[in-house]
Structure 1
Amino acid sequence: MRQTMQIDIQDFPLVRMDYSGAGHQSIEETLQIFEQCLQRKQGFVFLGWAADFDKDPNENVADRRAVSLWMKQHKAELRDYVKAMYYVEPSAVKRLAAKAFAVIYGKFWGHPMIVTESRDEAVRQDYELLGLSSE
């Protein structure tokens, strides 16, 4: 089984995405969780961290194809309900790489990827975007 990011939807509409490899979700499981989020028919945001933007772009071609096909099938729902991806990167150097990747991400997914320095800042911005109280 191929591994991908670990998704946590316990704090929905804040959907946490850990790219560190600590999780054991396959791409199929990940896409099922994304579908559960869309089925709520409510705006939400992603909060991600620990991605490696310097990976070989040809790695996991089958996973990339599966995600691309899924995204095309759910394009309208993604546009309606996903408000943004907030990505946390404490390292200034890695934040630059993340910001460069954010342009590609936004074109592909159709919602912005906003790079922040800390989780606290990302969560604060998430709640502001969704019009929710963080208390």
Structure 2
Amino acid sequence: MLLNAATFPIVRLSYDQGLAGTADEAFAAFEALLDRGTPFVIIGQGANGDVDEHEHDPGEQRRLALWSKKHKPRLREFVKALIYVEPSRAKRIGMRAFQIMSEKFWGYPMLVAASEAEALEMANGLLKSASPSRAIG
């Protein structure tokens, strides 16, 4: 999983590019996004449509849960949504239960788009409602 903030406030999340370093580096990268104090949207894709494909060992799961709990107020405030791009209608429908679990865990909604264009449209709508000057055309 790799975060790319080059087009902030739209942050790209790729599940196909492996880890972005250590868990500490991944947490630091996410915290740096939150430290900007600006609403943003994450657009994710990859992992062949299986966003929950990577299994964490129990120690990683606990650490991730503790990090999420500690940062939940800022996650809710600044992350307007994770929009996952999934072209397959069947897979999009199958992701509904995962969307609910993801929102409970992270504190922000997980939406699913059929295409990159649809994801960008959704992201810009969310950003426009959060702060009109932040949307990207």
Q: TM-score normalized by structure 2?
A: 0.84
What does 1:46-61 correspond to in 2, within 5 Å? 46-51=42-47, 52-53=50-51, 55=53, 59-61=56-58
Greater percentage in helix: 2
Q: In the alignment, does 2:24 pair up with 1:28?
A: yes
Identity %: 38
Local SS of the residue matching 1:9: strand
What amino acid is the match of 2:46? A
Corresponding residue number in structure 1 for 2:136: 134
**Equivalent of 2:33 in 32, 37, 52:** 37
Corresponding residue number in structure 2 for 1:64: 61
Local SS of the residue matching 2:95: helix
Q: CA deviation at 1:54?
A: 6.1
What does 1:1-135 correspond to in 2, within 5 Å? 5-51=1-47, 52-53=50-51, 55=53, 59-131=56-128, 132-135=134-137
Local SS of the residue matching 2:64: helix
Q: TM-score normalized by structure 1?
A: 0.85
Mark the CA change 1:115 to 1:72 in structure 2 (over 3 Å): closer, same or farther: same
CA distance in 1, matches of 2:8, 2:81: 14
Q: CA deviation at 1:100?
A: 2.2
Which of 1 and 2 has higher RCO (CA within 8 Å, sep 6+)?
2
Q: Note the residue ranges of structure 2 that are not aligned, 5 or more in a row.
A: 129-133
| Contact persistence 1:53–1:97 (CA under 8 A) | no
| RMSD, aligned α-carbons | 1.9
